[in-house]
Amino acid sequence: MALDSKTVQDIARLARLRVSVEETTKFGTELSNILDLVAQMEAADTDNIEPMTHPFDATLRMRNDQVTETNQRDKFQSIAPSAENGLYLVPRVID
């Protein structure tokens, strides 16, 4: 199965990755090869098989409702690319 360039661009857009025109072809071919590998799955009959989302069919463990965290803002924001007045800064978001 071959991915056309529009599909490659759409996926890249979903993943917030920029793919140049030249790269589109390269990625298209590589992704198509991977999808060919993946297509081998079709051979298996999986009717009535429950999907397995966890390696052992574990169930959720839950914690008690307690506040255990303390303020670590200064430490966390010391590694932030841009922060001011305790806020992370990004270019203006327009709603």
Q: Give me the least distance between CB of 37 and other proteins, in Å please.
A: 5
CB 8 within 8 A of CB 29: no
Q: Give me the least distance between CB of 47 and other proteins, in Å please.
A: 9
Q: Give me the least distance between CB of 23 and other proteins, in Å please.
A: 9
| Residue recorded with tokens 């255990």 | 68
- CA atoms of 80 and 82, how far apart (whole Å): 5
CB 70 within 8 A of CB 40: no
